[in-house]
Amino acid sequence: MIKTTAQKIYVALIFIFLYAPIFTLMVLSFNASKTRSKWGGFTIKWYKQLFQNEEIMEALWNTLLIAFLSALIATIIGTITCLAFNYLKKSNRAILLGMANIPMLNAEIVTGISLMLLFISLGIKFGFMTILLAHITFNIPYVILSVLPRMKQLNPSTYEAALDLGCNQWQAFFKVTFPDLLPGILSGFLMAFTMSLDDFVITHFTKGPGIDTLSTKIYTEVKKGIKPEMYSLSTIIFVAVLVLLLLVNYTPKDKKNK
């Protein structure tokens, strides 16, 4: 429990600071006036038009598909990397962690231009594929950093116990090790998905003409004026995620705890 009133006020102010822009966007999504600086009355027409706007729908589809695929592939690569971790020499572990840290600590703009230079010299056509490769690259570290702590906590005896009780290596892995790692894997996947969804800079440098994600679409609109449909789309996404999070966090926990 937060003790003093001063502390409560402080947390509340930060909360307002973080959520004021989000609230603003939500309000704008119901604004009948097309300019964002004037309130022209309440309307839901942007929500209706949103689904007829093919450009936005396509950008949304690209965004979600890239986020899902890049998170999935990054999760697979990241998880098997963590499995190897315990068998590596100390120096090799340091190298591995160092590699994973580069995209996390490096500037996005440098990661973006470096990948751009790579794709150009490899002669890969810029488009969906290049964005996907780039997103997988910056997503793997998030998965590793989320799975590795659970890997370190893992009691090696449980895996050996499974072998002792008659499992083969694969059964032991899928019945014992994998369920233990699952929370880390899931949160890694979710983190990767979120990062991909929110990325602009790296996509900006690795996308080709003719393909847009929501981020790059918004970027081109920043100068011309953002279409109100964009506000309604982000409101829908935000509310959907909020509801989902609240459901996950506040439904009574399943006692079985798989």
Partner 1 sequence: MNKKLLSAPFLFWSGLFIIVPLLMVFYYGLTDKTGAFTFENIAAISSPEHLKALWEAVKLSVLSTIICLILAYPLAMILCKSGSNKTSFMVLIFILPMWMNFLLRTFAWLTLLEKTGVINTLLKLVGLPTLNIINTPGAIVLGMVYNFLPFMVLPIYNVLIKIDKNVINAARDLGANPFQTFMKITLPLSVPGIISGITMVFVPALTTFIISTILGGSKILLIGNVIEQEFTQTGNWHLGSGLSIVLMMFIIFNMVISAVTDKDGEAQAL
3-state secondary structure of 206: helix
Q: Write the binding mask 56 to 95 for partner 1: x where contact by CB under 8 A, - elsewhere.
A: ---------------------xx-xx-xxxxxx---x---
Q: What DSSP state is assigned to residue 42? A: B
Question: Distances from the Cα of 39 to the Cαs of 28, 34, 48, 137, 228, in angstroms?
Answer: 8, 9, 19, 43, 13
Residue 222 is a binding residue for partner 1 (CB under 8 A): yes
CB burial of 64-103 (b: ≥16 within 10 Å; e: otherwise) equals: bebbeebbebbbebbbebbeebeeeeeeeeeebeeebeeb
Among 7, 33, 155, 158, binds partner 1 (CB under 8 A): 7
62 or 81: whose CB is closer to partner 1?
81
Q: What DSSP state is assigned to residue 124? A: P
Residue 131 is a binding residue for partner 1 (CB under 8 A): no
Interface positions, 22-41, toward partner 1 (CB under 8 A): 22, 24-25, 28, 36-37
Task: Write down how long the chain is.
Answer: 258
Residue 146 is a binding residue for partner 1 (CB under 8 A): yes
Q: How far is the CB of 111 from partner 1 (least distance, A)?
A: 8
Question: Distances from the Cα of 142 to the Cαs of 148, 198, 258, in angstroms?
Answer: 10, 14, 24
* Cα–Cα distance for residue pair 232/102, rounded to 1 Å: 36
Residue 16 is a binding residue for partner 1 (CB under 8 A): no
Interface positions, 88-127, toward partner 1 (CB under 8 A): 88, 92, 96-97, 99-103, 105-111, 113-118, 121
Residue 150 is a binding residue for partner 1 (CB under 8 A): no
Residue 167 is a binding residue for partner 1 (CB under 8 A): no
Q: How far is the CB of 48 from partner 1 (least distance, A)?
A: 20
Q: What DSSP state is assigned to residue 87? A: T
165 or 239: whose CB is closer to partner 1?
239
Q: How far is the CB of 97 from partner 1 (least distance, A)?
A: 7
Q: How far is the CB of 51 from partner 1 (least distance, A)?
A: 18
Q: How far is the CB of 11 from partner 1 (least distance, A)?
A: 6
Q: How far is the CB of 217 from partner 1 (least distance, A)?
A: 9
3 or 256: whose CB is closer to partner 1?
3
* Cα–Cα distance for residue pair 180/258, rounded to 1 Å: 9
Among 71, 134, 151, 211, binds partner 1 (CB under 8 A): 134
Residue 11 is a binding residue for partner 1 (CB under 8 A): yes
What number of other Cβ atoms are within 10 A of residue 233's Cβ? 23
Question: Distances from the Cα of 116 to the Cαs of 148, 173, 203, in angstroms?
Answer: 30, 39, 10
